[in-house]
Amino acid sequence: MNRSDPSEVLGCRLREVRERVAAACARAGRSPADVTLVAVTKTVSPATAQRVVDAGVFDLGENRPQELWRKAEALSGDVRWHMIGHLQRNKVARTLPLVTWIHSVDSIRLLQAIDEEAGKLGKNVSVLLEVNTSGEANKKGFAPAAVTTLADTIAGLKYVHVRGLMTMAALQDAEACRPSFAQLRTLRDELRDKLAAPHTFEHLSMGMSNDFDIAIEEGATFIRLGTFLVGGLEDGP
């Protein structure tokens, strides 16, 4: 392999991700088809993000709305954009037409703002609710005890389809993240039992570069990888 060719490096990393996804699925008795890789491009330029698309990964995630707008404008190809970071309510109108998924709904007010804006567009929007499973004060998201009380609010939405939950585990040894992931699944199952279509709660967005194998074992349907895929790709010689 030519280690100075970013496309080759990326291809190699993608093969490794696919092998590890397949292995984790095998351990858990799951199908790899049920795990979608979201490439997180927040640390790289539009040109590097384009390489990811050209390598065949069409699900891209950004954690800042302005950066998502910038890259959505710059990239070509049928990219499905995933908003994975905090979305301010005054940025909902500009963001909604661009995104396929919002993983990071962290308040009832945001949920309702998205529903209202989606109504103006006449568009259904698929979202996930972010849950702070690690309890860290610097993390966004609903407290675990709060999220299960949202069933009535969710049932009242007109345009938003709540399709699951998202979490970020604490940065630590991967195995130590397992309880966070298991908790997210339990919360998801609880909400799924309380709600009906279109709020299908089939998704769990969990697992990053450091802990995605464990997240898949615990049921992740979206894994969000940044560093593992694009880390160092832009380093000069």
Ligand X SMILES: *Cc1c(COP(=O)(O)O)cnc(C)c1O
Q: Which residues of 131-152 are buried (b: 16+ CB within 10 A; e: fewer)?
A: bbbbeeeebebbebeebbebbe
Angle formed by the axes of helices 46-54 and 6-28, nearest 10°: 60
Beta carbon nearer to ligand X, 63 or 159:
63
Beta carbon nearer to ligand X, 126 or 209:
209
Beta carbon nearer to ligand X, 35 or 225:
225
**Binding flag, residue 144, ligand X (CB under 6 A):** no
| Cβ-based neighbours of 149, under 8 Å, separated by 6 or more | none
In order, the DSSP letters of 193-227 are HH--TT----EEE---TTTHHHHHHTT-SEEEESH
Q: In angstroms, what is the minimal distance from the CB of 226 to ligand X?
A: 3
Which residue in the set 168, 206, 214, 220 belongs to the binding site for ligand X (CB under 6 A)? 168
How far apart CA 202 and CA 39 sit, in angstroms, is: 20
Beta carbon nearer to ligand X, 201 or 228:
228
How far apart CA 65 and CA 68 sit, in angstroms, is: 5
Beta carbon nearer to ligand X, 40 or 52:
40
How far apart CA 23 and CA 17 sit, in angstroms, is: 10
- The two tokens of residue 181 are 């992931």
Q: Is 235 exposed, middle or buried (0-12, 13-18, 19+ CB in 10 A)?
A: exposed
**Binding flag, residue 40, ligand X (CB under 6 A):** yes
Which residue in the set 140, 150, 209, 233 belongs to the binding site for ligand X (CB under 6 A)? 209
Q: In angstroms, what is the minimal distance from the CB of 96 to ligand X?
A: 19
Q: In angstroms, what is the minimal distance from the CB of 64 to ligand X?
A: 9
Stretch that binds ligand X, among 91-99, 182-190, 195-203, 218-226 (CB under 6 A): 218-226
Beta carbon nearer to ligand X, 82 or 188:
82
Which residue in the set 42, 64, 139, 192 belongs to the binding site for ligand X (CB under 6 A)? 42
What sign has the CA pseudo-torsion 36, 80, 184, 64? positive
**Binding flag, residue 48, ligand X (CB under 6 A):** no
Q: Where does this chain bind ligand X (CB under 6 A)?
A: 40, 42, 63, 84-85, 168, 208-210, 224-228
